[in-house]
């Protein structure tokens, strides 16, 4: 299992860039092949911590404005897993972290990183949404409370603006 990893996504231009950062993401993905990825994104907040639970391909949330049309045609066809989402949800509840299932697609705090690290989109991803009062250190504590997930070979990533 990987320890929690903070990966900044940069700007939406990261989607199309070839840079030291995107080369790092490529190497990171080649060297780290988890069975699933839990992602905390600060691009969408809710009243309660939520996890997107779906077996389908995640919808794309183009949460940026004023970019060329190609930025709104990008696809990253990663799936989730309702079975694994239920295991993550249960682990959070056992650690007294209120959570609910509420679907929302993946935003630009998620897909630019994943497109470079895992271009095949073959690893289930689980976007979490945090509350406005949940600071980054609180999200990392939530990830650490899920330590038992390591037996399921999970990776944790955080995309924060």
pLDDT by residue (tens digit) across 78-111? Answer: 999 888 888 888 888 887 878 888 777 888 888 9
DSSP assignment letter at 35: S
- Best CA proximity match to 159, nearest among 106, 118, 122, 121: 106
Longest CA span, the chain: 45
Q: How far apart are CA 41 and CA 38, in angstroms?
A: 10
Is CATH 3.40.640.10 correct for 5-157?
A: no
Mean pLDDT of the chain: 80
Q: How far apart are CA 57 and CA 80, in angstroms?
A: 7
Q: How far apart are CA 145 and CA 147, in angstroms?
A: 5
Give the bridge partners for 102, in sequence order.
Answer: none
Which is it for strands 36-45 and 125-130: parallel, antiparallel or unpaired?
parallel
Residue that wins the pLDDT comparison between 90 and 74: 74
Q: What is the pLDDT of residue 68?
A: 96
**Residue pair 105/58 in contact by the 8 Å Cβ criterion:** yes
Helix (H) or strand (E) holding 137: helix 136-145
Query: For residue 135, what are the contacts with CB-CB under 8 A and spacing of at least 6?
Result: none
């Amino acid at each position: 299992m990987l320890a929690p990893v903070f990966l900044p996504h940069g700007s939406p231009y990261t989607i199309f860039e070839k840079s030291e950062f995107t080369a790092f993401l490529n190497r990171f993905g080649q060297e780290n092949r988890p069975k699933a990825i839990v992602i905390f994104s600060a691009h969408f907040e809710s009243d309660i911590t939520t996890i997107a639970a779906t077996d389908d391909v995640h919808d794309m949330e183009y949460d940026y404005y004023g970019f060329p049309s190609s930025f709104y045609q990008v696809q990253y066809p990663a799936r989730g897993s309702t079975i694994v989402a239920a295991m993550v949800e249960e682990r959070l509840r056992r650690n007294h972290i209120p959570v609910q299932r509420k679907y929302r697609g993946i935003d630009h705090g998620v897909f630019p990183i994943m497109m470079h690290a895992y271009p095949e989109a073959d690893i289930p991803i689980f976007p979490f949404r945090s509350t406005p009062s949940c600071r980054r250190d609180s999200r990392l504590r939530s990830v650490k409370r899920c330590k038992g997930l390591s037996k399921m070979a999970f990776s944790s990533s955080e995309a924060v603006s």
